[in-house]
Every structure is written in C-alpha cells, then in structure tokens.
Amino acid sequence: MRMKLAATAAMALAAMPLSASADGEVNIYSYRQAYLLEPLLNAFTDETGIEANVVFAKQGLAERLEREGRNSPADVVMTVDISRINELVERDLVAGVETDTLSHNIPENLRHPEGKWYALTTRGRLIFASKERVEDGEITTYEELADPKWEDRICTRSGKHPYNIALISSMIAHHGEAETEEWLKGVKNNLARKPQGGDRDQIKAIAEGECDLSIGNSYYYGNMLKDENQRPIAQQVNLIFPNAEDRGTHVNISGISLTKSAPNKENAIKLMEFLSSPEAQRIYAEANTEYPANPEVKPTGIVAEWGDINPDDLSLQEIADHRNAAVKLVDRVDYDS
C-alpha cells in the first residue's frame, strides 16, 4: 500500500513538468540571473514565436549537462567569466557553430576559433577612487595598486572571486607568475580590511571613508547609479580605466555556447544570432550597463558617458589558461586572510 502510493506519487511528479523538446522552443542553462535575460527573451519570442525556457544557477549546470548526456534538454548555455566558458569547451560539452551572421556580428577576439562560444557583452574591471581623497591621475594602472603609498587604503572582495581570478590571470600573462606574486603581496599589504562582500560593498566602503580605492566591474557602478537609493553613494567615487594608456583595461565577458546534445539546434542558432544582433545587443547591454560585443552597437546611456574603453587585447583563452595558477597564487599569498 505504502509502496504503491509512493510509486504513484513519484510517477505523477516525474510526469509533471516534462522536459521540453517540442518544436518552437529553446532551452537555456544560464549562469546569469533569469531577470537579466527576461526582456531579451521576450523580444526573441515576439520576433520568432519560439518559446525560451530558462534554468538559472551559479554552480552545477555544467555537471548537470554532462550527466544528462545525449538526452539533455538544454540547447544553449549562457555564462559569465571566460574561465567558466572555457570549462565547457574543455569538458567537450559544447559544439562549434559558425554562421555568417554570427561571424559578422561578433569580432574574432570575442569568439572561440571554432565557434564553441561567442561573447555577448564585455565588462571592464575598473578601479574606483574616492573623489575626495584621491587626486585625478594619482593612479592609472593595476600595477600601482601595489605601491606602498596606498597602504591601508584599498578594499576588494575575495581574491578567489572569478572576476579577481581573471584579473590576476591577466597579470600572470603579462608579467609572469613570480612578478605577479610580488604584486599581489603588495596589494594585500595595502588592504584596509579583510576581503569581503561584493563589488558594490567596496564602493560603499569608499563612500563611508573606510578606504580610498577599490576594484570592481563597471556594471556594478553603473547599476548603482541607476538606483535612486544608491546613487549618492556611487557619486562619491571616480572611475578609472586602468592601463588605458598602455596595454589596455582588463575585460571579461558574458557569452553563449551551443550544447553538443541540443535537441532544438536550429532554434538555438536562431537565438544565438538574435542575441548578437544590434537590436538585442542594445537591450542586453543596457539592462545590465555592460558593453555590447557587437562593434556596430555603440554603448548608450551611462556607459556612453564613461567614454571609450581601450580593452587589453590579450586573448581571453590565455586568461583562462592561467586560471589555476592564479587560484593557487591567491592561496600562497593568503590574500583572503
């Protein structure tokens, strides 16, 4: 009796939200919050009639995809951070896709050579400086963050956060591991407090006078300016595009990949092409104050006011390659303690 009941319940549950594979759908595993994608996906459905379904998580979607194998309902994976995207490639979970539209819309340095991923937006990792306590031009490069004159004046989030790991990887790519270790030790010595919180929290700490400099992604600052309650806080800092005069500012990407097992491959490619189109790029970049990957689309609003960004032309692949070294470096320097 009990077993029968349990079995019936199990079947009822299993049957309920059947994995979607009917025509007219595209299924997305997303490392980006669903609310960021919503306006875009609505526009996509309006234009093509294809329903877009989303699962959002910050961890474990690659594992889910891998285990589901050829039966996985997922058609595309949307990710942030180049290392995470690269992991999909290394684990052989994504397929190469090349179309004229995609190659036209997304520049070569922002896509995988075989089309295993395409960047959709880019964001700079910037330095934020107190308007009151830091002179214009007093700091212009990442390297200077290690200068002892900033002792007790810098705030950052955990060194282990993927965005900091990517920045450290780019330092390793430019300067080698030994020199980067010295640099990171210097930055650690300059910290005003133990690394904690998120990028916004560091800007808040500057506004309150706990520190004078912080590192953060451009869109956090942009989104704070958009929020009426947080605007006064954000307005107390200047943003600095580090290394603009030499190799360029470190940028990271958000991107999209086609899964190997995609049951709705055609729809998935339509979605990828749509997301790279000028129309979608405008919505996407604006929704989260990021830079569009499509060079035909000029940044608008707040992002446009910041002026042009000169991105570091180091290949994203190289950043991903140095990830493990960067993680171990953070442990060796004991950055987070």
Partner 1 sequence: MTEVVSSADPGLSQPLLAKRTSKRWLISAVVTTAIVALPVLAVIFLALFPEENIWPHLISTTLPRYLITTIQLMVGVGALTLIIGLSTAWAVTMCDFPGRKFFEWALLLPFAVPAYVIAYVYTSLLDYAGPVQRALREWFGWQNASEYWFPEIRSLEGATLMIGLVLYPYVYLLGRAAFLEQSPSLFAVSRSLGHSALSTFFKVVLPIARPAIAVGLSLVLMETLNDFGTVDFFAVQTLTRGLFDTWMNLGNLGGAAQIATTMLIFVVILVTLERYSRRRQQQFAARDNRDPIRRFSMSFPRQMICVVVCAIPLILGFVIPGATLGYYAWEYFDVSWNPDFVRNTMNSLFLSGTAALTTLIIGVTLAYSRRLHNTKGMKVLMRLSSLGYAMPGAVLAVGVIVPLAGFDNWLDSLTRDYLGISTGLLLSGSAFALVFAYTVRFLAVSAGSVESALQKITPSMDMASRSLGHSPGKTLLNVHLPMLRGTLLTAALVVFVDCMKELPATLILRPFNYETLATYVYQFASDEQLYHSALPALIIVLAGIVPIILMSRSISNSRSMS
Residues that bind partner 1 (CB under 8 A): 2-3, 6, 9-10, 13-14, 16-21, 27, 33-35, 53-61, 63-64, 67-73, 83, 87, 90, 158, 160, 162, 165, 192, 194-201, 204-205, 207-210, 220, 223, 229, 233, 323-324, 327-328, 331-332, 334, 336-337
Q: Are 294 and 226 in contact (CB under 8 A)?
A: no
Reported in sequence order, the residue ranges of 57-201 that DSSP labels E, i.e. its strands, are 76-80, 94-95, 118-130, 154-155
* Beta carbon of residue 163, minimum distance to partner 1 (angstroms, whole number): 12
Name the nearest CA neighbour of 214 among 243, 244, 234. 234
> 13 or 178, CB closer to partner 1?
13
* Beta carbon of residue 224, minimum distance to partner 1 (angstroms, whole number): 9
* Beta carbon of residue 203, minimum distance to partner 1 (angstroms, whole number): 9
> 26 or 102, CB closer to partner 1?
26
Cα separation values, 233 from 34, 53, 206, 220, 290, Å: 27, 37, 9, 12, 20
* Beta carbon of residue 172, minimum distance to partner 1 (angstroms, whole number): 14
Report the C-alpha dihedral over residues 134, 136, 141, 145, rounded to 10 degrees.
Answer: -10
* Beta carbon of residue 32, minimum distance to partner 1 (angstroms, whole number): 9
Unique residue bearing structure tokens 């961890």: 59
* Beta carbon of residue 91, minimum distance to partner 1 (angstroms, whole number): 8
Angle CA 194–188–204, to nearest 5? 50
> 128 or 277, CB closer to partner 1?
128
Partner residues linked to 127 by β-bridges:
215, 240
> 162 or 248, CB closer to partner 1?
162
> 105 or 202, CB closer to partner 1?
202
With DSSP H G I counted as helix, E B as strand and the rest as coil, what are the percentages for the chain, rounded to 5?
Answer: 45, 15, 35
> 58 or 231, CB closer to partner 1?
58
